[in-house]
C-alpha cells in the first residue's frame, strides 16, 4: 500500500510513500506539488502507484484504465514513476528511424506513392536533423517547418525567371499530409503519444493561380501542332476523354476499346485500391474516336498491345517538356499543369452537359471532388 502526505503552505506539496519489491526497509517517495498538481491528481497518482506495485508483485500487466491514465498524465509524473522503478522507460526513436521504418513497411505500395513519400522525406530533412528525437518535436517546431516550406524553400532557377523561394500552397499541403501520415503511424506503433503535426493547418490543395481552361479552339490548334499521331491521341485522351496523363493514357490498350458500342475502359492505378473504382467505362466521344481510328489504322499500331507506344520509356520521354514545345508551335498561351487542366476542362464540360453522375462515372471523380471543383465553376476564358 502507499500513503499520501500533504505539506501545507501557499503551494501545497504531496508526498506519496511506498515500499517496493516487498522490501519493508526500502521506502520510496514520489514528490509532486506546486500549482500544476491538485490534491485530486495526488490521490489519483497514489491509486496508480498501488496498482503498479500490485502488478510488479504479481508479474501482471496494468489494466486498460491504468494504462490510459499513464498515457494522459504529464511527462514529469511518468519520469518520476520510471525513477521509482514502477514503469519502464519507453524507447526513444530518431526521426531518421521513423521515416526508414515507415517506408520499409510501405514496400508493397506502388512506386509512384513511394516517390511522393520520398519527396516529403527530403523536404522534412532539409529542415530537421536526422538524429533529432521524436519526443522533441512539438507543434511549434512543425509550424516552423511549414513556414520554412512556404517562404524559404528554394525553387528551381531558370534563365527566364529569377530564383524565388517558397513552395506553392498546394505543394506544402501535400507534403504536410504525407508527413502527418508518417507521424500517425508512429502514434499507432507506440513510438510517440501524440502527432506533433496536430493543430498545424495543412492549407489548401488547390492553387487557383494554376487553373486554366483549355478551350476547344486551343485543343484543335494543339492537334495541328503535334509532331505525330501518337501525340494527337495523347492530347485527345486527356482533353476529350478526360483521362489522367501519363498514368491512365499509357495503360490504355487497344483491347480496352469497344468500337461497336463506342465505349472504352479506363484502368486507374490511382483509384484501384478502392473497391469497384479500379476502372471506369467512358463513351468514345466522336472527337476522340477520329484520332484513335487514325492511329489504329497506322503501321505503327500493327500488332501493338498499347495505344501509345512511342512515348512509353519514362527515362527517355518527358511528356511535359514535349507538350511545352507543342504549345509554343500552336501559338497559344502557356498552360500550367497541362494534363491536369485539360482533364479539368473536360470535367467541367461533362458536368455542365450531362450532370454530376456522368462526371463521376466518366471522369472518375468522387462526388465531393466534383461538387468542390466543377459544380459552380465559372467558365472563364471559355470562348
The answer to whether 277 and 271 are in contact (CB under 8 A) is: yes
Structural domains in the chain, CATH included, are 2-83 (no CATH), 95-205 (1.10.150), 212-373 (1.10.443.10)
Contacts (Cβ under 8 Å, ≥6 apart) of 23: none
Q: What is the pLDDT of residue 164?
A: 59
* Cis-peptide into 164, omega within 30 deg: no
CA distance 268 to 247: 7
Q: What is the pLDDT of residue 315?
A: 61
Whether the predicted model's global pTM rises above the 0.75 cut:
no
Q: What is the pLDDT of residue 193?
A: 81
**Lookup result for grid cell 486498460:** 64
CA distance 195 to 92: 15
pLDDT for 157 beyond 50: no
Contacts (Cβ under 8 Å, ≥6 apart) of 224: 330
Tens-digit pLDDT profile for residues 207-248: 667 788 999 999 999 999 999 999 999 999 999 999 998 889
**Lookup result for grid cell 471543383:** 373
Tens-digit pLDDT profile for residues 294-346: 999 999 899 999 999 988 876 666 888 899 999 999 999 999 889 999 999 99
pLDDT for 149 beyond 70: yes
Q: Which of 50-64, 94-108, 269-283, 324-338 has the lowest mean pLDDT?
A: 269-283
CA distance 133 to 142: 13
pLDDT for 380 beyond 50: no
Q: What is the pLDDT of residue 21?
A: 64
Q: What is the pLDDT of residue 381?
A: 42
Q: What is the pLDDT of residue 227?
A: 95
Give the chain's mean pLDDT: 84
pLDDT for 8 beyond 80: no
Q: What is the pLDDT of residue 360?
A: 85
C-alpha pair distances (Å), 233 with each of 21, 118, 219: 78, 32, 12
Q: What is the pLDDT of residue 367?
A: 59
C-alpha pair distances (Å), 340 with each of 9, 245, 367, 368: 68, 8, 18, 18
The answer to whether 343 and 369 are in contact (CB under 8 A) is: no
Residue 52, Cβ density class (10 Å: 0-12 exposed, 13-18 middle, ≥19 buried): buried
Amino acid at each position: 500500500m502507499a500513503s499520501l502526505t500533504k505539506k501545507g503552505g501557499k503551494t501545497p506539496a504531496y508526498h506519496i510513500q511506498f515500499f517496493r519489491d516487498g522490501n519493508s526497509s526500502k521506502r520510496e517517495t514520489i514528490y509532486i506539488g506546486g500549482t500544476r498538481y491538485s490534491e485530486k491528481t495526488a490521490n489519483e497518482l497514489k491509486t496508480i502507484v498501488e496498482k503498479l506495485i500490485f502488478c510488479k508483485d504479481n508479474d501482471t500487466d496494468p489494466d486498460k484504465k491504468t494504462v490510459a491514465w499513464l498515457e494522459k498524465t504529464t511527462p514529469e509524473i511518468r519520469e518520476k514513476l520510471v525513477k521509482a522503478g514502477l514503469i519502464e522507460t519507453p524507447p526513444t526513436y530518431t526521426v531518421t528511424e521513423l521515416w526508414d521504418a515507415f517506408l520499409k513497411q510501405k514496400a508493397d505500395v506502388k512506386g509512384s506513392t513511394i516517390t511522393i513519400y520520398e519527396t516529403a522525406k527530403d523536404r522534412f530533412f532539409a529542415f530537421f536533423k536526422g538524429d533529432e528525437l521524436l519526443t522533441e518535436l512539438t507543434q511549434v517546431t512543425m509550424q516552423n517547418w511549414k513556414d520554412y516550406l512556404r517562404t524559404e524553400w528554394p525553387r528551381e532557377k531558370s534563365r527566364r525567371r529569377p530564383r524565388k523561394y517558397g513552395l506553392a500552397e498546394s505543394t506544402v499541403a501535400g507534403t504536410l499530409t504525407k508527413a502527418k501520415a508518417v507521424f500517425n503511424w508512429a502514434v499507432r506503433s507506440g513510438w510517440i503519444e501524440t502527432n506533433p503535426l496536430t493543430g498545424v493547418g495543412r492549407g489548401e490543395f488547390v492553387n487557383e493561380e494554376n487553373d486554366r481552361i483549355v478551350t476547344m479552339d486551343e485543343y484543335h490548334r494543339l492537334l495541328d501542332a503535334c509532331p505525330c499521331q501518337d501525340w494527337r491521341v495523347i492530347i485527345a485522351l486527356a482533353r476529350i476523354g478526360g483521362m489522367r496523363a501519363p498514368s491512365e493514357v499509357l495503360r490504355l490498350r487497344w483491347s480496352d476499346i469497344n468500337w461497336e458500342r463506342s465505349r472504352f475502359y479506363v484502368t486507374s492505378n490511382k483509384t484501384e485500391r478502392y473497391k469497384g473504382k479500379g476502372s471506369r467505362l467512358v463513351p468514345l466521344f466522336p472527337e476522340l474516336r477520329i484520332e484513335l481510328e487514325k492511329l489504329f489504322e497506322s503501321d505503327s499500331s500493327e500488332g501493338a498491345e498499347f495505344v501509345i507506344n512511342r512515348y512509353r520509356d519514362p527515362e527517355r520521354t518527358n511528356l511535359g517538356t514535349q507538350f511545352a514545345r507543342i504549345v509554343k508551335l500552336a501559338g497559344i498561351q502557356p498552360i500550367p499543369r497541362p494534363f491536369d487542366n485539360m482533364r479539368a476542362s473536360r470535367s467541367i464540360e461533362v458536368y455542365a452537359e450531362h450532370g454530376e453522375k456522368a462526371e463521376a462515372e466518366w471522369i472518375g471523380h468522387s462526388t465531393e471532388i466534383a461538387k468542390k471543383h466543377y459544380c459552380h465553376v465559372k467558365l472563364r476564358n471559355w470562348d
